[in-house]
Homo-oligomer: A and B are copies of this chain.
C-alpha cells in the first residue's frame, strides 16, 4: 500500500481478497503496510487489485518461504526480551551452561554472567542426547532452578523444549523457547511453539540448508508467532578432525540478506573447542550476527555435558570485554542491564 494509504483503503483491500477466500497477513515496515496473501483463494485480477485506492504495487512471492523473506517484509524484525531488543542495533549475549546440573551451579553461573554483561541465561533442563544412556537433564526441577536464577538476576531464560507435549510446561518457566538442531524439522514441535506466546530460538539442523532453516521458521511464523531468532551453530562437513563442526559464517551474512529475522551465532557448538570460541565469537560479531549464545561453566572439566566447548567463567568475562569492543567497532551497541 502507498505510505499514505488510509486505514479504510487497507481494510477495503483486505476485505476484497478475503472475500475471494485468501488469508491475509498484515505487516508494517519502511513506513508502509504490506498485505500478504496465503492459502488457496480464487484467482485474483491483479490489474483490478492494482487499481484499488491506496494500492502501490502487487507482486507474486514465489519463494517457498514467504513470511520470513525480506521480499515480504523488507525491514528487520526486532522484539524485546527482558531489557534488550533483539534484531535492533543492540548486540545481545546469551550465556549459561549446557545443562542445569544443580541449584548451586546455575545460580553461580547466572550471577557471574550477569556481572560480565550477558543479557540472557541459557541452560538445558530437557536434553536431547545422542545416547539413551547419557544424562537426559533435570526436567521440570531444572526449569524451576532456571526460574529461581531469573528471580535472582533478572536475566530472561532461554531453554530447550523437545516435544510438543512439553511446550506448555516449558512456557511456564522460560522466556524463550529453544528448538534444537536435531528437532529443526520436527514439524509438530514447530507448530506447537508457533502457537505458544513466547519468542523462539530456532537452531539450524546440522545438515540443513539455509532454505531448510527458513522453511522451518515458516512453520512457526505461519501461526502468527513472529518472534523467531535463527541460530547458526555449525554444519557437518568432511573436515571434523580439529573442529567439531564447520561454523558457517557465510550463512550468517546470507541470512541477514534474505530474511528479516534476527540471527544469533553459537560459537560453542560452531567450533566445539573451548580455546577457539573467542575467535569465532569475534568473527560472528564482525560478520553481522545480532547476538551470541555461549556455553560457560564454573568447572568445564566436571561438566556433565559439552565440557570441551564450555568457557570458564573468567574466560567468559574476558570474552565479554572483547565482544563489547568488537560490537562497537561494527557500530552496534552492547546494552548494559
Contacts and interface: CB of A to CB of B under 8 A. Distances in A.
Interface of A: 38, 64-66, 128-133, 162-166, 182-183, 185-189, 205-207, 209-212, 215, 218-219, 222, 234-243, 245-254, 257-258, 270-271, 275-276, 279-280, 282-288, 325-326, 329-330
B247 A250 contact: yes
A141 to B, nearest CB: 18
Q: Which of A66, A128, A129, A188 has the most CB of B within 10 A?
A: A188
B207 A207 contact: yes
17 contacts: A130-B215, A131-B215, A162-B188, A182-B187, A183-B185, A186-B186, A186-B189, A235-B238, A236-B238, A238-B238, A239-B248, A279-B288, A283-B286, A286-B286, A325-B329, A326-B329, A326-B330
B238 A250 contact: no
Given A282-B330, A286-B282, A329-B329, A254 B237 contact: no
A241 B276 contact: no
A285 B286 CA distance: 9
A251 B240 CA distance: 10
Given A237-B238, A238-B209, A258-B242, A249 B188 contact: no
